Chain A
């Protein structure tokens, strides 16, 4: 375990990969409400890395995600993705929320190609139907292409949302508590799906979650965020071998990592 960001906390295999996402000294102050939401966040994600962030509600996680996705400007600092500064929404960023946020008047496949329709028009979206079908198959939704979201279960809807995020082939995935609305069983299953997809696409991912086990089972590195102002406290390297399995959750080392992170949270986050 290493605290601070002087050296990269990423596991050895990921350290020398090219840097995808870099945040330097990112701070955010909401002047009108005089809220200091983020303070000097430094992050460095290399290609293929999975970074988890744990923090209590109101620790500035969503502000951080909005800044990373180009929805909000930082008050200070810089955000660089693939060598280009982030100054607005970018098509190489894929985002997912706690709710699937599917549109009920569109079938599964129409929901998946929506980002293409928005960016490049209806014809481009129609041309992407084959790719969308392949993605739906990848997440186990073959045969559900023409089904409306009302008829999907929570887990299925969230899988359609994953496909929608992936259709633009983003370089980085920003995941805002993506499975916290699901029941425990679906959630474990979806975590494994997500791992598989990330491996298959060599995706770089940034996950915000409330669940310590979820963060541990998915991530290469887990950072603990503390509130008011939001800052990244301790960072823990997760040295569980990949691919991860649900069985690992019963291993003593997994338990030790969870305990370590919980200890860090107890120290700083709930003041």
Chain B
């Protein structure tokens, strides 16, 4: 069935190998791009400082800030009072997170799996979630005192909602055919929950955990701002009241590292547990 095509008489065309054009900005590798942006930021900052656009009392120079970061780092590394403060805040964050995960998971199960939970419990949770949760801080202080307990309570309280939502949404995530298949196999409710709904819902659950991991630090620090104690939040409050702005910046930086550490831990747990799930851009940054 094949037939010879008439020979093409025109001369052989030059090769048409070509590459797509990529803007030079998009060709910069991540590490260089990050350093570049940091450089621009510090440059502008230095300019603002040098030109005295903002009073140096409230806006320190980049150098002063770096010096203070080093001071704080040394204090932390030598196990001085700042490390003790950080340890207190870390404890609040960890215990608050564990409480939020356990309670949030159970409440999420109740709301997601049972009709009663969805009808009766859910409306109240939505209501409480709409309230500014840190406003409850004074209540926790009066109930639990100025110690670590009131901060744990606030951080758990702030972090629990994304976990409830993630768990409940996860339970609803299993697709219709999969549910039908489980029914045709005669699966019990418990089997459907443990072998279908929970594994299917894992990505949602971890989405909630990631939000919670960041919020739990917010809860602990706000708790310390409003309820005193000996944590890192208190150090920030004191530094701010003495208008020691470089110190505030430095402390915030190390506090961010705590949040970042929590986030990183969650993402690593996620990698281990839901190996089948495609990862998001935010996760990839922790490669």
Interface residues of A (CB under 8 A from B): 66, 69-71, 88-89, 91, 93, 95, 97-99, 101, 103-105, 114-115, 117-119, 148-150
Contacts and interface: CB of A to CB of B under 8 A. Distances in A.
B183 A89 contact: yes
Interface string B154-182: 00000000000000000000010110111
Contact of A101 (B175, B186, B187): B175
Contact of B178 (A66, A88, A101, A150): A101
A97 B180 contact: yes
B186 A105 contact: no
B199 interface: yes
B110 to A, nearest CB: 24
Contacts of B191: 118
Residue from B177, B181, B191, B196 whose CB has the most chain A CB atoms within 10 Å: B181
A-B pairs, top 8 by smallest CB distance, nearest first, are A104-B276, A101-B177, A118-B185, A97-B177, A115-B185, A89-B186, A118-B187, A95-B184
Contact of A105 (B178, B182, B185, B276): B276
B195 interface: yes
Contact of B184 (A89, A104, A148): A89
A119 B185 contact: yes
A97 B181 contact: yes
A263 B184 CA distance: 35
Contact of A103 (B178, B180, B183, B274): B178
Nearest to B180: A71
Given A89-B183, A99-B177, A101-B181, 13 more contacts: A69-B184, A71-B180, A71-B184, A89-B184, A95-B184, A101-B178, A103-B178, A104-B277, A114-B185, A118-B185, A118-B191, A149-B276, A150-B276
B190 to A, nearest CB: 11
A91 B186 CA distance: 8
Contacts of A66: 180
A115 B175 CA distance: 18
Contacts of A104: 276-277
B276 A118 contact: no
Contacts of A115: 185
Contacts of A118: 182, 185-187, 191, 195
Contacts of B175: 99, 101
A149 to B, nearest CB: 8
A115 B177 CA distance: 15
B199 A105 contact: yes
A114 B195 CA distance: 9
A18 B225 CA distance: 80
Interface string B124-141: 000000000000000000
Contacts of B199: 103, 105
Contacts of B178: 101, 103
Residue from A69, A88, A91, A97 whose CB has the most chain B CB atoms within 10 Å: A97
Given A101-B175, A103-B178, A119 B276 contact: no
A117 B69 CA distance: 57
Nearest to A99: B177
Nearest to B186: A89
A109 to B, nearest CB: 16
A17 B245 CA distance: 91
A103 B275 CA distance: 12
Nearest to B273: A105
Contacts of B181: 95, 97, 101
A89 B185 CA distance: 7
Interface string B67-99: 000000000000000000000000000000000
B157 to A, nearest CB: 32
A223 B77 CA distance: 79
Nearest to A66: B180
Given A99-B177, A101-B178, A148 B276 contact: yes
